[in-house]
Amino acid sequence: MAFCRNCGSQINDGTMICPKCGASQNMGGMPQQNYNNNGYNNGGYPNPNYNNGYDSGGIGWGILGFCIPLVGLILFLVWKDQKPLSAKAAGMGALISVIIGVVFYILAIIVGMGSYYYY
C-alpha cells in the first residue's frame, strides 16, 4: 500500500491518480514518497501538501493569542509546520496584543510625564 502525495489517503501501489482527491501520482521519474496517514513519509519528513482537515485557522486561536500572548507564541512555534493557518492566527493575535501593549505603555509614560510637569 502507498499513500497519496497530495492528500495522504491510502491508495494501491502503482495508482496513477488518487481516487479521493484526483491528484496525479506520477512524479516525473522520481521515486514516489510514501506518506502515512499522519502526513509523514518513511524518513519522518512531513508532506508539504498534506492537510489533515483540522487546520481551519479559526479566529478563536487569534483571540487566545491576543488574550495570552505567550500561549499564542508557543502555539505558533509548535504548529507552524503541521497547522499553518491556525499557527498564523495564534501568532497574529499574540503580535497584535504585544504591539497594543507597547503603544499603551508608551502613552502611559507620555501622559505621566505630562502630568508631572503640569504640577
Instruction: Provide the whole-model pTM.
Output: 0.53
Look at residue 74 in the predicted model and tell me its pLDDT.
95
Residue 9, pLDDT > 60, answer: yes
**8 Å CB contact between 61 and 86:** yes
For the segment 53-87, what is each residue's pLDDT rounded down to a tens digit?
Answer: 567 778 898 999 999 999 999 999 998 888 888 99
Instruction: Count the alpha carbons within 13 Å of 52 in the hemisphere toward its beta carbon.
Output: 18
pLDDT class for 27, splitting at 50, 70, 90?
Answer: low
Top pLDDT among 51 and 24 is at: 24
Q: Which residue has the higher pLDDT, 39 or 82?
A: 82
Pull the grid cell for residue 15: 495508482
Q: Find the length of the chain.
A: 119
